[in-house]
A = this chain, B = another copy of it.
Amino acid sequence: MPPAETPGSSLPVVIFGLLACVRLTAFESRAADAGRSPSYEDRVTLGALATTAFTQFERLRDRLVGLGADPWSAMRPFQEAITGFHERTRPADSMEALTKVYVADSIFADLYLDVARSADPAIEETARESLADSGHAALVTERLRAAALADTCLASRLGLWARRLVGEALSQAHALTVCDDGLRGLFGDDGVAAAFERVVDRHQARMRAISLRD
């Protein structure tokens, strides 16, 4: 039995609408960070991350159209909260921008994949494709790890920045899923608290992987 749905929208439309909004906004945020980077290398890394996010958005939009939904109507309920997140977490430089991708986008991916997995295998598959950062994630990880190991002052600044990002990302993810009538039911028997604990555990493992204190 599928859980209760948002009035007027089927569960796949709600989930793909959320993810389409997440990806289109990630594109804009990463591209803006690319444009502000003084270094060629960071422009290209962030540009590739932006392009990946846009291509993922296009796939979700096409899935929504295939379901007979209007993409923007499906995305609009989530737009303000997601834009607000990006406005509250503007990176000061490209190392902070890469940390934001690494920390926040991974938290969203973990949580939204959990939600999609509970919904339906076909939804999960599309969600997995649309949340994967393919090769770029490895590049970001390596870049951050090398920077943190080489410069303890930078590492401590990025550690504090990551802490802010976690707080903002968890509040946003909570607002978008637990407060949504259609999505709340997907957290399963162990409930919301357990889902968020799993997300925090995985975040802590990622912080250790790049030698940043959590």
A27 touches B40 (CB 8 A): no
Contact residues of A between 34 and 59, Cβ < 8 Å to B: 34-35, 40-41, 43-44, 47-48, 50-51, 54-55, 57-58
**Distance, CA A71 to CA B31, complexed state (A):** 20
A207 interfacial contact with B, CB 8 Å: no
**Distance, CA A51 to CA B58, complexed state (A):** 11
A28 interfacial contact with B, CB 8 Å: yes
B55 touches A43 (CB 8 A): no
A54: shortest Cβ distance to chain B, in Å? 5
Contact residues of A between 96 and 153, Cβ < 8 Å to B: none
Closest B residue by C-beta to A76: B40
A81 interfacial contact with B, CB 8 Å: no
Q: Please name all residues of chain B whose beta carbon is closer than 8 Å to the beta carbon of A72 when the two chains form the complex.
A: 40-41
Q: A31-B34, A48-B58, A51-B54 are in contact. Are A75 and B24 (CB under 8 A)?
A: no
Residues of A within 8 A of B (CB): 24, 27-29, 31-32, 34-35, 40-41, 43-44, 47-48, 50-51, 54-55, 57-58, 61, 71-72, 75
Chosen A-B contacts, 13 in total, with CB atoms closer than 8 Å, are A27-B47, A28-B34, A28-B47, A29-B35, A31-B31, A31-B50, A32-B35, A40-B72, A40-B75, A44-B61, A48-B54, A50-B54, A51-B55
7 A-B pairs closest in CB distance? A31-B31, A28-B35, A40-B72, A51-B54, A51-B51, A47-B54, A32-B35
